[in-house]
Amino acid sequence: MRIPISDVTPECGRAEIAGWVHEVRDLGGLTFLLIRDRTGIIQVTIVKKKAPAEVLEAVKAVSRESVVRVAGTVKAIDKAPGGRELNPETFAIVSVAESPLPLDVVEKVPADLDTRLDARFLDVRKPRVAAVFKVRSTVTSATYDFLSQRGFFNIATPKVVAAATEGGTELFPIAYFEKEAFLNQSPQLYKQMMMAAGFEKVFEVGPIFRAEEHNTVRHLNEATSIDVEVSFADHNDVMVLLEDLVRHLYAAVDERCSDAIADLGVEFEVPKTPFPRLPYAEAIEIAAARIDEPIAYGDDLGTVSEKAIGEEMGEHYFITDWPTEIKPYYAMPYEDDPAICKAFDMMHPRMELSSGAQRVHQHDLLVEQIAAKGLNPDGFEFYLKPFRYGMPPHAGWGMGMERLIMTMLGLQNIREAVLFPRDRHRVVP
């Protein structure tokens, strides 16, 4: 029976493995093969004088990245990966890989990101690339665990919608019979409606679609958002929830993904909580002192400002108390100073990871704020209706999964955190 390569030890005596031919080295009387599966790499050593004729024939014919099944005896060898090797009694080629390969899996020839993404199935065979997706898988399941344990309902909201969450031009129109419809840019309105449904604590990990035309290293046109909404909570409550979750996710990766972290060669530290709270007004001052561009109170924080403030802060932090004017209509203004609101952004020193707020739960104020943004409240009737029939106060946030992974693992481009990224130029594969 086949066992995972990482389970093969000299104590096994005999073992059968299956995997991809990572490397072949023919030294005349000796042939070394490295065979790889998702758990690791093992050396298979063939001594020409001793090996069965069928084994020699198969080894001669095999190409790199073909799938093979090998059974034989395991021997302790200091110099081999994992301190052991396999001497095959049988060697079967299960599926042949054509040569040349579209991409070099052993990375002797570095490939640019486009070439890698064009042959993503091969790219992900590299242990260092697979490591990113092991970490992402762990982060996803740890998110479900953490929020479920805290009593959150997991919900699924529609991705085909009739209205923009925040207006604007970031929507992808789709052909939906005779109606106008779009891909949803955020589950915001739907998760808020579940507060009126009495669910109290909901979360969703799902796709968001943004038709932003710019091509940057931190934007995708299809991203994954971890979204949360909580009733009878304010912005401070959900900031604590968010920093606790981030710490928990780092700790889960630290605990369960040590191999992946080693493959990636990253410095990994679980962030300390609480994260500092930096009022927007102070953030602007820090940016103004550090950058050449003019920046003033009321401006949104661009890439350059985010980077400058991040350098000063040096760790995860929150930017709080934003001007009401530059945050969405659903952010709750402070009662004593309505020019600022109970919105926040959670930042990694490199970039924004999450935006959230206590929400406006009063129907009339919400209508007023929608209109103040130049939007027509009529288009939001389906969303406004629940606010007339018992809407509790509530707060929540959305955090980008890819940005979380990107900053956690020190990746240079957000595309590295997605199997098949969607951007301005890429819809295939």
Shortest distance, position 319 Cβ to ligand ATP, whole Å: 11
Number of residues this chain uses to bind ligand ATP (CB under 6 A): 15
Neighbours of 229 (CB within 10 A): 29
| Binder of residue 320, out of ligand ATP, Mg ion, none (CB less than 5 to 8 A by kind) | none
**Tokens 């779009």 appear where?**
182
**Residue 212 marked ligand-binding:** yes
Quick one: which of 31, 231, 320, 355 contacts ligand ATP (CB under 6 A)? 355
Specify which residues 105 forms β-bridges with.
Answer: none
Contact status, residue 68 vs residue 93, Cβ threshold 8 Å: yes
From 361, 403, 415, 416, active-site residue: 403
Query: Which residues within the stretch 371-400 sit at the binding site for ligand ATP (CB under 6 A)?
Result: 398-400
Residue from 210, 342, 361, 394 in contact with ligand ATP (CB under 6 A): 210
Buried b (16+ CB within 10 A) or exposed e, 104-126: bbeeeeebeeeebbbbbebbbbb
Q: Which residue in the shown chain puts its C-beta closest to ligand ATP?
A: 400
Figure out which of the listed residues 157, 192, 305, 354 binds ligand ATP, where binding follows CB under 6 A.
354
Residue 196 marked in a binding site: no
Catalytic site residue 352? yes
Residue of 120, 219, 256, 307 that binds ligand ATP (CB under 6 A): 219
| Residue written as token pair 């600022």 | 340
CA 268 vs CA 134, 321, 407: distances in Å? 15, 31, 11
- Convert residues 260-299 into a mask of x (bound to Mg ion by CB under 5 A) and - (unbound): ----------------------------------------
E strands present in 210-336: 222-231, 277-279, 317-323, 333-334
Strand runs labelled E in 79-118: 84-95
Torsional sign, CA 98, 103, 105, 108: positive
Among 165, 184, 192, 355, binds Mg ion (CB under 5 A): 355
> At its nearest, how many Å lie between Mg ion and the CB of residue 280?
13
Integer Cα distance of 24 and 31 in angstroms: 7
Write b or e for each residue in 335-372: b if 16 or more Cβ atoms lie within 10 A of its Cβ, otherwise e. Answer: eeeeebbbbbbbbbbbbbbbbbbbbbbeeeebbebbee
290 known member of a binding site: no
- 403 binds, options Mg ion, ligand ATP, none, Cβ within 5 to 8 A by partner type: ligand ATP
Q: Does 229 bind ligand ATP (CB under 6 A)?
A: no
Cα–Cα distance between 205 and 353 in angstroms, integer?
15
Note whether 394 and 199 are within 8 A (CB): no
Catalytic residue among 16, 23, 89, 212: 212
Reading the block at residue 324, the tokens are 């009401």
Point out the catalytic residue in the list 38, 219, 256, 290. Answer: 219
136 counts as binding ligand ATP under rule CB under 6 A: no
Q: Which does 353 bind (CB under 5 to 8 A by kind): ligand ATP, Mg ion, none?
A: ligand ATP
In the list ligand ATP, Mg ion, none, the entry touching 321 (Cβ below 5 to 8 angstroms by class) is none
Instruction: Give the three-class secondary structure for 247.
Output: helix
Nearer to ligand ATP, 40 or 421 (CB): 421
Residue of 163, 226, 152, 155 lying closest to 189 (CA atoms): 163
Partner touching 327 among Mg ion, ligand ATP, none, CB below 5 to 8 Å by kind:
none
With beta carbons less than 8 A apart as the criterion, state whether 81 and 22 touch. Answer: no
Q: Please, what is the minimum distance in Å from the beta carbon of residue 219 to ligand ATP? A: 4
How near is the Cβ of 266 to ligand ATP at its closest, in Å? Answer: 20
Residue 206 labelled as part of a binding site: no
* Known catalytic membership, residue 210: yes
The piece of 115-123, 193-201, 259-267, 347-355 that touches Mg ion (CB under 5 A) is 347-355
By the 8 A CB rule, do 153 and 203 touch?
A: yes
Task: Tell me how crowded residue 315 is: count the other CB atoms within 10 A of its CB.
Answer: 13
Is 403 an annotated catalytic residue?
Answer: yes
**From Mg ion, ligand ATP, none, interface partner of 212 (C-beta below 5 to 8 A by class):** ligand ATP
- Tokens representing 24 are 């072949």
Active site residue 355: yes
CB 325 within 8 A of CB 298: yes
Question: Which residue(s) pair with 179 in the sheet?
Answer: 176
Q: Which residues are documented as binding site?
A: 166, 210-212, 218-220, 352, 355, 359, 400-403
Q: Which residues are documented as binding site for ATP?
A: 210-212, 218-220, 352, 400-403
* Residues forming the active site: 210, 212, 218-219, 352, 355, 403
Give contact residues for Mg ion (rule: CB under 5 A).
355
Give contact residues for ligand ATP (rule: CB under 6 A).
210, 212, 219-220, 223, 225, 352-355, 398-400, 402-403
Q: Which residues are documented as binding site for L-aspartate?
A: 166, 210, 355, 359
